[in-house]
A and B are shown apart, each in its own frame.
Chain A
Amino acid sequence: MIKIKIIVCIKQVPGTTEIKINPETNTLIREGIETVINAFDTYAIEEGVRLKERLLSNPETKEEVEVIAITMGPHQSESILREAISLGVDRAVLLSDRAFAGADTWATALTLQNAIKKFDDWRLVILGKQTLDGDTGQVGPELAQMFNIPFVGYASNILEINRTRMIVKRLMDDRYETFEIKLPAAISVGKEINIPRVPSLRGKLKAKNEQIPVWNKGELGLEDEKIGLSGSYTQVVKIFIPKTIHEVKMITGGPDEQAEELYGKLKELSIL
C-alpha cells in the first residue's frame, strides 16, 4: 500500500518579540535578528512524527507514513526545514519565490494548498495554532476550507487515527470537544498536545546532508495575481508602537500599610 503522507506546515518567524524604543527618534529597535521555527509549529512537527510512529507500531494498521514539512518563505527559511528533519520529519520542501512575499493569510493558504496538492495520498495537514508575528491563526481554517476538508483547531489530543478517519479532542475557550472526522483533514495544535523531543544525532546528520527542493510559483502553477502581496486581500498599511506613556505608582510601607493602601485602591477603582 502506498505510504500515507502527513504534511506539517511550519513558518519562520523573528527570534524575538523584544522590541526597544529609541527615545530620541521614538522608533522601535528590534533586538537580535536570528529567526526560528514558530513555537507552536514545533508541536506540529512532534505530533506528525508521533503519529507516524504510532500508525506503524499499531498491529492493526501497520501503516507506513511519511512526514513532510513545508514552509513558504525566503531562501533562508531552509534552515527551519533542516531543523524539522533533525526532529524526525522524513523530508521537506521549501516554497520560495520573490513573488510570494507579502502574502496575507489567504494568499499563504492558497500557496500551501497548491503545494500540498502535489503530494499524492496525503491524509492529514498539521499546523501550529498561530504564529508569533502575524499571529492570526487563520491559515489553517482557510487552507482547510480551500480543500473543503474538516478542520479541528486547538487540537489537544488525537485519540484514534487510521487511514480514513480520526477522533480528535480540542480545547475551546471553556470546554473540551471531541470530534470524529474523515480524512483527509487539517488540525492545528498548541503546547497542550505533546512535549517536543530534542534532535537526535542521526536526525542532525540527516538534516545536514538532505537535499531540500525549492518550488517556485511556476512549479505550483500560480499566477502573480494570486500570490504574495498582489494576491492578498489584506494589506498592512502602518506599523507602530503602542503609546506607553506609563507610570507605575509604587505602594510603599510595611506589609500592613501596603495591604491597606491596596485595599483602598481596589475600592477606589471599583474592583471591590
Chain B
Amino acid sequence: MEIKVDESTCTGCSLCKNVCMYDAIDIVGKKAAINENCVFCGACIDICKFKSIEITGLSQGYKDFSQYKGVMVFIEQQPGSIADVSYELLSEGKKLADALGTELTGILLGYNLSQSYPEIFKYGTDRLYVIDNEIFENNLDDIYAKALVQVIHRFKPDIFLAGATGFGRTLIPKVAAIIKTGLTADCTSLAIDPEKKILLQTRPTFGGNVLATIITRNARPQMATVRPHVMEKKQIDVKPGEGGSNGKPDVDIAKHAESISLGGPDSNICKSGEDYNGRVEYIELDISNFKTKYKLIATEKETGQSINLTDYDVIVSGGRGIGGPENFGLLKELADALGGVVGASRAAVDSNWISYPHQVGQTGKTVNPKAYIACGISGAIQHLAGMQTSDIIIAINKDPDAPIFKVANYGIVGDLFEIIPKLIKRIKYGNNLIQN
C-alpha cells in the first residue's frame, strides 16, 4: 500500500501541503512529495484539483456480505429507564433501514425490562430482541459484550448502532474487537451510499473543526457509535393491528414478566417467548460461561446536582468572567429557571469554582443542547470544541471581540452581572423591563 503523487499532473500548488495536519507533504521542485509522516487520512486526495494524489495497493477485494441484513440498534438501558439516545438511534436506524429496504431491529439487555417495550415500538422498530437476566443488572461491559457478540453472530445485522455514551464507548469497542470488524466513533451523521449500499459514517475530529467520513471495509456489521442529542427522535404512527394501537401491548406483559423471572435449576438459561404480535422475541442464551472480570464495589451519584450535562436541553455555562465560586449561584438560578444545568469553562474548573464534571470542551464534556448560554467565556478553541454543535448559542461577554461571538447565534456585549439578574427577574416575575 502506498500513497503516490502523479508528477505529470501535479502543479505544485501546495493546497495539499496546507491541508495536511501531519506535516507529511513537502513541495520539492514544484512537485508535492509525501514523506513518512503520512497517516493516510485522505485529506490531500480530496483537495487536489488535479487528482494527482492516489492511494494504491489497497486490496479492494470486496467480500460477499449478502448474508448480513438489516439495521440493529443497541437499546441502552440505565437503571429504571431507556437512554434517550436509543430512541434517537431507532429513528435514524429506521431511515437507514428504509433506504436499504431492510428491517430495523432493537436489542435490549437488562433485568426486569418489560415496562420499556411500548415506547420502543413507537420509533419504527420492526422487531425487538430481548435478553432479560439478572446478570445484566449492573451494566458490566464484559458480560454485555459477550451477549452482544452472540446476538450479532446469530442475526448478522449489516449495520449495528449504539449510543456514544460512557457505557457505549467502552462496551462497543470490545464487541467490535471480538467480532473483528470496524467501529466508527461518535458519529454525528449517517447515510447510505446509494450505489454501493454501504454506510457512510461522518464524525467530527480535530476538536470538532473537521468532519471525516468513514466507511467499514472488508468486514460486517458496519458498527458505529452515535453522539447523543444529534439525531432527531421521531415517532412513527403504529398501524392498527400491527403490534398494538397507541403503543399498548396486545399481550399481557405481566404474564411474560413471570415467565422470564423463572429461576430454578437451570436459571442460567434465559427463557424465550414472544409477544407484541410476535415482534418481541426473548432470546435464549447460554450464559453459564458468562463470568465477569469486574467486582463492582460501589456506585455513587456525583454529589450535589446531577452532573450529566448531556441530559439537559439547556446549559448555562460560566467562565473566568464569573469571578468566583459564589457567583455560580446566579447561573444556577438562571439554569433552574430554564430547566437546564450549569456548565463551565476550564478556567472556571481549574480555579476550583466548580467541579470537573461541569467542564465543557476538548478536555471536558462535548455537549449539544438546544440552547447553550455562555457567560463570561472568551470562546477559546478548546472550549468551542465541546459546544459548537449546540442548536442555539447565546453569548454574554463584555468584550465585543471575544471569539465566542464567532460561533454564537445571539450575542450580547455587556456585563453579565447586570444582564443575568434582570433576565432572571423577567422570567420569574413577568414584568416587562422596558417601562413606558
| Residues of chain A at the chain B interface (Cβ within 8 Å) | 14, 17-19, 22, 25, 27-30, 33, 35, 39-40, 74-76, 98-99, 101-102, 104-106, 109, 132-138, 140-142, 144-146, 149-154, 167, 171-182, 190-192, 224-225, 228-230, 232-242, 246, 248-252, 255-260, 262-263, 265-266, 269, 271-272
Contact = CB atoms under 8 A, between A and B. Distances in A.
B392 interface: yes
Contact of A180 (B1, B46, B295): B295
Contacts of A109: 177
Shortest Cβ-Cβ A-B pairs, 6 listed: A102-B40, A233-B182, A136-B185, A17-B207, A234-B182, A174-B308
A184 to B, nearest CB: 11
B214 A237 contact: yes
B422 A259 contact: yes
B411 A238 contact: no
Contacts, number: 302
Interface stretch (B14-22, B66-74, B243-251): B14-22
A238 B422 contact: no
Contact of A179 (B18, B165, B214, B297): B297
A62 to B, nearest CB: 26
Nearest to B184: A234
Interface in B341-381: 356-357, 362-363, 370-371, 381
A135 B185 contact: yes
A27 B15 contact: yes
Contacts of B356: 191-192
B201 to A, nearest CB: 8
Given A190-B363, A239-B212, A241-B211, A144 B426 contact: no
A7 B214 CA distance: 30
Is the contact region of chain A dominated by helix, strand, or loop, or is it mixed?
mixed
Contacts of B370: 269, 271
B413 A239 contact: no
B210 to A, nearest CB: 6
22 contacts: A17-B381, A104-B182, A105-B173, A135-B207, A136-B186, A140-B173, A142-B177, A151-B174, A171-B302, A174-B308, A176-B298, A177-B296, A234-B216, A237-B200, A238-B212, A239-B213, A240-B211, A242-B209, A256-B422, A256-B434, A265-B394, A271-B338
Given A192-B356, A256-B434, A98 B36 contact: yes
B114 to A, nearest CB: 25
Given A248-B405, A250-B411, A260 B210 contact: no
Nearest to B138: A177
Given A28-B210, A142-B176, A249 B38 contact: no
Contacts of A19: 206, 209-210
A246 B210 contact: no
Contact of B411 (A235, A248, A266): A248
Residue among A19, A167, A181 having the largest count of chain B Cβ atoms under 10 Å: A19
A182 B299 CA distance: 19
Given A179-B297, A239-B211, A251-B411, 7 more contacts: A138-B176, A233-B183, A234-B214, A248-B405, A262-B419, A265-B394, A271-B392
